[in-house]
């Protein structure tokens, strides 16, 4: 079972009565800015990974930066842990409340503060939805490039915390590549601005450190994002294959030819059939796999690349290659891909989404091995992923009502993540480690590396109060997990320090 907080392996804090938290925090917040009833807390007990559930003591809903600072200072004085939460769409248990702690919701920080079309920037609060930025600047011929599948609902603050990507990250980059600066409040209430509107900033690149730090180092209260000009044209090729390995091989052929698509996505047979039944995107349901390859830019360049990619796909073994005939069909092709996770409900009651990343050259081997691991653990798997940058999203299918089914799904997921590490990849691409993958961190990193992570954590948060028990394992946890591998010539976790 995906473990909840374990007092033997996780930080332990002094218990502060709820009444005391209400007494101290209530005056620091606006009316209706503090929730303490069990019924009111329930919506915050998990994020997009519902296998984890934990109730906070209270939920704080600040509306200003000063209120965020005041809440953090008060919690620091009382030694109370704090977990910051955006829209709650994360898939790694990263927003799971710490028992007895404060859940700090940034949902009321939902304003686009400034748009500068000449500088191509937007200054936004962390609760602004990802898609809302592109909607706000579309009339200026601009868009915000990172586009996770949850972009309709997910917040920019959460995107920064997890370094979110999306189907177009191959060409346009992840969140970190589309940020200029962030405003951050540390646990002691200090307000920092990291990065700048300039292309270069002096000192350490702390903004990049904060991006993907999963709320362990500070609370983001403002973000300056980079906007990108809308391309003149975008066209999508759909290629069908009767063999998953051939489809994976085609990905390498496209990149090797020097072509960088705006998006290059892959779906295997179970995934594409479920997505087609759900979205009616026009996918060939008899295929073993499909690739969606989007090319954008100036019309003459896109036309040339469409011909080149079509020829490459045919040579790689595609049984059907077709280009969306118009914008409506292009949107339909992408609607199927972006609706694939939701479509899994048509073939299984529940799914467990893994988020490993591997070198592209390893795609054929890893996809074959995922099938073997699924069979070995007695679970089904549907594969939907960002093929262009090797970011896998195997959806492990199970039924939570069947005893042992979730445990089998978890075991298969852990084995897949460790396979990603084995071939030179990593355990997460964009979902973060959170609570879900904290054990697999022990398989990827050595004792000295884990110790370095904790040193950075202490530099920003000496008391260890921000999002404790997430992302960075204690050395004791790694020993408990069995991560005592010989790693780069050393035996890790020998001294078993507790953070």
122 within domain boundaries: yes
Is 121's pLDDT higher than 70? yes
Q: What is the pLDDT of residue 484?
A: 42
Q: In this structure, are 192 and 240 located in the same domain?
A: no
Q: In this structure, are 203 and 241 located in the same domain?
A: no
What φ, ψ does residue 448 adopt, rounded to 5°? -65, -35
Q: What is the pLDDT of residue 3?
A: 67
Write out the residue range of the structural domain in which residue 79 sits: 18-105
45 within domain boundaries: yes
The last residue of a domain, from among 201, 229, 257: 229
Q: In this structure, are 327 and 290 located in the same domain?
A: yes
Q: In this structure, are 180 and 238 located in the same domain?
A: no
Split at pLDDT 50, 70, 90, the class of 199 is: confident
Q: In this structure, are 117 and 208 located in the same domain?
A: yes
In total, how many domains does the chain have? 4
4 within domain boundaries: no
The structure tokens 């374990």 sit at 6
Q: How far apart are CA 34 and CA 40, in angstroms?
A: 10
498 within domain boundaries: no
Half-sphere exposure of 432 (CA within 13 A, CB side): 31
**Most distant CA atoms of the chain, gap in Å:** 70
Is 487's pLDDT higher than 50? no
CATH of the domain at 403: 3.30.70.2740
460 within domain boundaries: no
Q: In this structure, are 408 and 376 located in the same domain?
A: yes
pLDDT tens digits along 200-215: 778 899 999 999 999 9
8-state DSSP, 97: P
Q: What is the pTM of this model?
A: 0.93
Q: In this structure, are 382 and 417 located in the same domain?
A: yes
153: alpha, beta or left? (left if phi > 0; alpha if psi -120 to 50): alpha
453 within domain boundaries: no
Q: What is the pLDDT of residue 386?
A: 94
The last residue of a domain, from among 105, 124, 144: 105
The last residue of a domain, from among 105, 125, 155: 105
Q: In this structure, are 337 and 359 located in the same domain?
A: no
467 within domain boundaries: no
Q: How far apart are CA 142 and CA 146, in angstroms?
A: 13
CATH of the domain at 194: 3.30.465.10
Could you tell me the two tokens for 362? 């390893």
183 within domain boundaries: yes
Q: What is the pLDDT of residue 488?
A: 41
pLDDT tens digits along 28-50: 999 999 999 999 999 999 999 88
Q: What is the pLDDT of residue 353?
A: 93
E strands in 109-218: 112-116, 121-124, 142-143, 179-185, 191-195
pLDDT tens digits along 365-397: 999 999 999 999 999 999 999 999 999 999 999
The mean predicted confidence, pLDDT, of the chain is: 94
């Amino acid at each position: 079972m995906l473990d909840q907080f374990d007092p033997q392996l996780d930080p332990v804090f002094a218990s502060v009565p709820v009444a005391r938290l209400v007494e101290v925090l209530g005056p620091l917040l606006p009316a209706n800015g503090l929730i303490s009833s069990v019924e009111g807390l329930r919506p915050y007990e998990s994020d997009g990974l519902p296998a984890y559930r934990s109730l906070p003591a209270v939920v704080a809903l600040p509306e200003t930066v000063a209120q965020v600072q005041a809440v953090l200072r008060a919690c620091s004085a009382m030694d109370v842990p704090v977990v910051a939460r955006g829209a709650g769409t994360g898939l790694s248990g990263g927003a799971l409340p710490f028992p007895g702690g404060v859940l700090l919701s940034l949902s009321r920080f939902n304003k686009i503060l400034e748009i500068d079309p000449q500088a191509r920037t937007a200054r936004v609060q962390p609760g602004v939805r990802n898609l809302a930025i592109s909607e706000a600047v579309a009339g200026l011929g601009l868009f915000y490039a990172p586009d996770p599948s949850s972009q309709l609902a997910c917040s920019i603050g959460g995107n920064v915390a997890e370094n979110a990507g999306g189907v177009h990250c191959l060409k346009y980059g992840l969140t970190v590549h589309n940020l200029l600066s962030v405003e951050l409040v540390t646990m002691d209430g200090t307000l920092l601005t990291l990065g700048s509107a300039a292309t270069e900033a002096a000192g350490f690149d702390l903004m990049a450190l904060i991006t993907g730090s999963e709320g362990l180092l500070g609370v983001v209260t403002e973000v300056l994002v980079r906007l990108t000009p809308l391309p003149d044209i975008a066209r999508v090729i759909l290629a069908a294959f009767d063999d998953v390995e051939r489809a994976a091989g085609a990905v390498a052929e496209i990149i090797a030819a020097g072509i960088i698509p705006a998006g290059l996505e892959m779906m295997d047979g179970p995934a594409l059939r479920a997505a087609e039944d759900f979205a009616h995107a026009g996918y060939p349901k008899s295929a073993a796999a499909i690739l969606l390859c989007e090319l954008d830019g100036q019309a003459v360049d896109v036309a040339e690349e469409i011909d080149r990619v079509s020829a490459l796909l045919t040579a790689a073994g595609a049984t059907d290659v077709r280009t969306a005939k118009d914008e409506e069909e292009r949107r339909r092709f992408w609607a199927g891909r972006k609706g694939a996770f939701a479509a899994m409900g048509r073939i299984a009651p529940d799914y467990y989404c893994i988020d490993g990343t591997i070198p592209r050259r390893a795609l054929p081997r890893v996809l074959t091995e995922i099938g073997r691991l699924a069979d070995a653990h007695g679970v089904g798997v549907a594969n939907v992923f960002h093929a262009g940058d090797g970011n896998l999203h195997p959806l492990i299918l199970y039924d939570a009502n069947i005893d042992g089914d979730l445990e089998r799904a978890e075991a298969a997921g852990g084995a897949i993540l460790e396979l990603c590490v084995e071939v030179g990849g990593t355990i997460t691409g964009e979902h973060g480690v959170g609570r879900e993958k904290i054990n697999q961190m022990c398989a990827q990193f050595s004792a000295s590396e884990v110790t370095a992570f904790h040193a950075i954590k202490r530099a920003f948060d000496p008391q260890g109060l921000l999002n404790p028990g997430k992302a960075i394992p204690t050395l004791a946890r790694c020993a408990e997990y069995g991560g005592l591998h010989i790693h780069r010539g050393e035996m890790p976790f020998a001294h078993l320090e507790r953070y």
